[in-house]
Amino acid sequence: MNPERLARIRQMMALRQPDLTVCLEEVNKAHNVAAIIRTCDAVGIPDVHAVWPPAMRENFRAAKGSQNWVNLHQYDSIQDAMSVLRVKGMQILATHLSPRAVDFREIDYTRPTAIIFGAEKHGISQTALEMADQDIIIPMVGMAQSLNVSVASALVLYEAQRQRQAAGFYQRGCLLSFEEQQRLLFEGGYPRLAAFCQSKSLDYPAIGEQGEILANETWWQKMQLHPTKWENS
């Protein structure tokens, strides 16, 4: 991996916000999912949680591989997803157009926070609304009743980003686990080798300070390649 790539990945990791996340409840259009995940990456969210509509589960599983920089955690039910977020100690916000919702800009996003976004047609389920701590709304003063879900996510996430920037949350240094850093360095620095490892169910090697692969001869033999062949990978 060249030094520029290494520096770029290290910088990305240092700005990640593991205590901010998104949960998608049956968002069913692939382009909306992709746009939301892209926005998550842009504000430094490392993990997205999702429950897919039943008919879409296989499709979205297949699409997972393209979202390399953001981990996608999939659940069979919204209860399962929200229980995981609750155990992590996050306040859970439901983006929902209800009379009890507060303006999304009134929320303190420097707290560990999970934000739920709902399906294009039906919004967030009653189950999720009952489990959430707070409904939040993006004010609407025109004729349309709601925004596109990916637009709504961008507005809320950039308010969170603004607050976290002001609070110095992007100067905290890397908060990702060592294992996660190693995974990102390998997958980001050596994508072809990482894909090869995945296809052969091989462990990833360690990555050194200079971004070099620290693997023994056995690992390279398992890869059936000599290290020199991958120097410029």
Residues that bind ligand SAM (CB under 6 A): 95, 97, 117-118, 120, 123-124, 137-138, 140, 146-147, 149, 152
- Of 137 and 160, nearer to ligand SAM (C-beta) is 137
The nearer residue to ligand SAM, 137 or 213, going by C-beta atoms, is 137
DSSP run (H or E) holding 197? helix 191-200
Q: How far is the CB of 146 from ligand SAM (least distance, A)?
A: 4
Our CA dihedral for 94, 96, 99, 101, rounded to 10 degrees, sits at 40
Minimum CB–partner distance for residue 98 and ligand SAM (Å): 9
Q: Compute the least distance from the CB of residue 133 to ligand SAM, in Å.
A: 15
CA dist list (Å): 179 to 93, 175, 196, 207: 29, 11, 19, 10
Nearer to ligand SAM, 62 or 143 (CB): 143
Least CB distance to ligand SAM at residue 103 (A): 9
Checking DSSP bridges between strand 47-51 and strand 20-25, what pairing results, if any? Answer: parallel
Tell me the C-alpha distance between 194 and 106, whole Å.
43
DSSP characters over 128-172: HHHHSSEEEE----SS-S---HHHHHHHHHHHHHHHHHHTTGGGS
**Shortest distance, CB of residue 155 to ligand SAM, whole angstroms?**
8
- 117 vs 186, beta carbon nearer ligand SAM: 117
User: Which residue in the shown chain puts its C-beta closest to ligand SAM?
Assistant: 123
